[in-house]
Amino acid sequence: MQGDVNPKKFLGQHFLIDDNISKKIVDNINFKKFKKVIEIGPGKGALTKHLLHIKDILTLIEVDNESVVFLKNEFINEKLDIIENDFLKFDIQSAYPSEENILIIGNFPYNISSQILFKSIDNYKSVKAIIGMFQKEVAERIISKNNSKQYGILSVKTQLFYDTKILFDVSPNVFFPKPKVNSAVISLTRKENINIDCDLELLDRIIKLSFQHRRKKIKNSLKKLDIEKNILEDSIFESRPEQLTIEEFVKLTKKISSETI
């Protein structure tokens, strides 16, 4: 492998080495829709070199100092905006307080890909879209609908705010080092009209508690919430979490918080 950056296992680095895949990812994006593009974990710049035409709105966030040094040398004439930081600790709201049209893009490290997604969801008002490389199994969980084995916390939390789609599958052979799993590039686009009229913190807690014991009925999984007996009589509490649609989780939250349905 050419270059001065050694992939680090503890960072979950698998460098993309097939230029056709990098180009295919970028070709799926209409950059005119965004005012800011954040590439997470650019590594050796496999995607970055295809983003140079948007460098005025592009920010690279890279936690690995060795990669930062490499990128600055590799793109020395481009004057790219590179932030050496952990994206999970990066304050999107403070950095871009009034921005609503951010695209998050990246060949995400497998070991933190779900956390990157949750961080983006927490900032859904700013993050308009996400296009990223995920482990295939994780990608399938993200896009899964109710009544499927893959349906869970990732599915519900993501689909509350975003329309999800797998763009294409990716072989382990296009990475160095080769991962032991298949990958997929997925697209998440913020829904046009988000109107989740319930307590979002309570909704988040209900989703997590429900899927801790996915084979149990909702009424048993949510015992920690001390729900009033008369509310538990609603038939929705007899369901298992994987049976509920996104809308039903919202309805359940409103029911528990005694809001008007």
pLDDT tens-place string over residues 43-60: 899 999 999 999 999 999
Mean pLDDT of 212-234: 89
So what's the pLDDT on residue 6? 61
Cα(215)–Cα(115) distance, rounded to whole angstroms? Answer: 25
Which residues belong to CATH 3.40.50.150 in the chain? 9-190
Is residue 146's pLDDT more than 60? yes
Is residue 93's pLDDT more than 60? yes
Is residue 251's pLDDT more than 70? yes
Cα(112)–Cα(217) distance, rounded to whole angstroms? Answer: 30
CB 102 within 8 A of CB 127: yes
Return the CATH number of 200-256, one of 3.40.640.10, 3.20.20.120, 3.40.50.150, 1.10.8.100: 1.10.8.100
Which residues belong to CATH 1.10.8.100 in the chain? 200-256
Is residue 13's pLDDT more than 80? no
**Which backbone phi and psi does 15 adopt, to 5 degrees?**
-75, 135
Q: How many helices (H) and strands (E) in the chain? A: 10, 9
Cα(57)–Cα(80) distance, rounded to whole angstroms? Answer: 10
Mean pLDDT of 213-218: 91
So what's the pLDDT on residue 7? 47
**Which backbone phi and psi does 34 adopt, to 5 degrees?**
-125, 145
Alpha-carbon distance values, 198 to 13, 73, 104, 206 (Å): 39, 49, 27, 12
Average pLDDT, the chain: 91
Is residue 230's pLDDT more than 70? yes
DSSP code at position 259: -
Q: Token match 């990157």: residue? A: 116
Alpha-carbon distance values, 53 to 58, 80, 210 (Å): 9, 11, 45
The CATH number of domain 9-190 is 3.40.50.150: yes
How many other CB atoms are found less than 10 A from the CB of residue 142? Answer: 25
Render pLDDT for 158-192 as a digit per residue (tens, 0 to 9): 999 999 999 999 999 998 778 889 999 999 999 99
Please report which helix (H) or strand (E) contains residue 161, including its range: helix 153-161
- 100's CB contacts (< 8 A; 6+ apart) are 125, 126, 128
Cα(48)–Cα(36) distance, rounded to whole angstroms? Answer: 14
Cα(105)–Cα(31) distance, rounded to whole angstroms? Answer: 11
Global pTM value = 0.91
How many other CB atoms are found less than 10 A from the CB of residue 51? Answer: 23
Please name which of 216, 102, 203 lies closest in space to residue 153, comparing C-alpha atoms.
Answer: 203
**Higher pLDDT among residues 15 and 248, named by residue:** 248
How many other CB atoms are found less than 10 A from the CB of residue 149? Answer: 10
